[in-house]
Structure 1
Amino acid sequence: MKLTHALVLVAVAILEMDQEDDGRLWGYALSKKSGVRSGVLYPQLDRMMTSGWIEDHWESQEKARKRPPRRYYTLTDEGRANLGSVVRRAQREPRFASLNVGRA
């Protein structure tokens, strides 16, 4: 995958949320955490699914109650390794210095 600012921001958000939220990631929360708008986020998530980095599943209607069910994403072991690599590469490249990417 091409290393872009959006990819780095999404990678950091996914890795942080994977630690915090029992591995249950969903688009709106990822968008808020990463600061990446949905028009950029969802195509990236689709590419990550195609690459085997994440898997998806839908929340049951019973849990959703009066709102539409959420589409949850789960990070795979391959995804954890690859997104960690994305973050490490970004930490070394000066063009990503403004993102203040910490250790993920």
Structure 2
Amino acid sequence: MGHEGDGYIWGYQLSKRSGVRSGVLYPQLDRMLDEGWLKDHWEERQDGQKRPPRRYYTLTDSGRRELGAVAHRIQTEQRFSTLRGALA
């Protein structure tokens, strides 16, 4: 468990893919964990591993529903029209 192919992604990788700085991303991930949108786990240490263990995240069913609702609002509400252009 804990590889991107099984729905998990680690924080640094998510930061790089999204272009969101870690100082902005990690507080958001913490909020999403608190709200039940995400679940997380730490990778197991491997013998000889020199880097710190990675923390992996995946969406919960609740998180998928909530983010789907946010995406729908972005697509349909006029106040998000400038954001739609940026995400296209």
Relative to structure 1, the CA distance from residue 91 to residue 65 in structure 2 (aligned partners, 3 Å threshold; closer, same or farther) is: same
Relative to structure 1, the CA distance from residue 57 to residue 63 in structure 2 (aligned partners, 3 Å threshold; closer, same or farther) is: farther
Q: CA RMSD for the aligned pairs?
A: 1.9
Tell whether 2:6 aligns with 1:22: yes
Relative to structure 1, the CA distance from residue 75 to residue 64 in structure 2 (aligned partners, 3 Å threshold; closer, same or farther) is: farther
Q: Which residue of the partner structure matches residue 58 of structure 2?
A: 74
Greater relative CO (CA pairs within 8 A, separation 6+): 1
* TM-score, reference length from structure 2: 0.80
Within the candidate set 57, 78, 84, 1:97 is matched to 84
The letter for the 2-side match of 1:71 is: R
State the 4+ residue runs in structure 1 displaced beyond 4 angstroms.
none
Relative to structure 1, the CA distance from residue 100 to residue 67 in structure 2 (aligned partners, 3 Å threshold; closer, same or farther) is: same
Superposed CA deviations along residues 4-56 of structure 1, whole A, max 9, x for unmatched, are xxxxxxxxxxxxxxxx6311111111111111101110010011001000011
Tell whether 2:15 aligns with 1:31: yes
2: CA distance between counterparts of 1:28 and 1:46?
14
2: CA distance between counterparts of 1:69 and 1:52?
23
Relative to structure 1, the CA distance from residue 88 to residue 25 in structure 2 (aligned partners, 3 Å threshold; closer, same or farther) is: same
* TM-score, reference length from structure 1: 0.69
- Segments of 5+ residues of structure 2 without an aligned counterpart are none
Within the candidate set 48, 51, 60, 2:32 is matched to 48
What is the percentage of aligned positions where both structures have the same residue?
60
- Segments of 5+ residues of structure 1 without an aligned counterpart are 1-19
State the number of aligned residues: 82
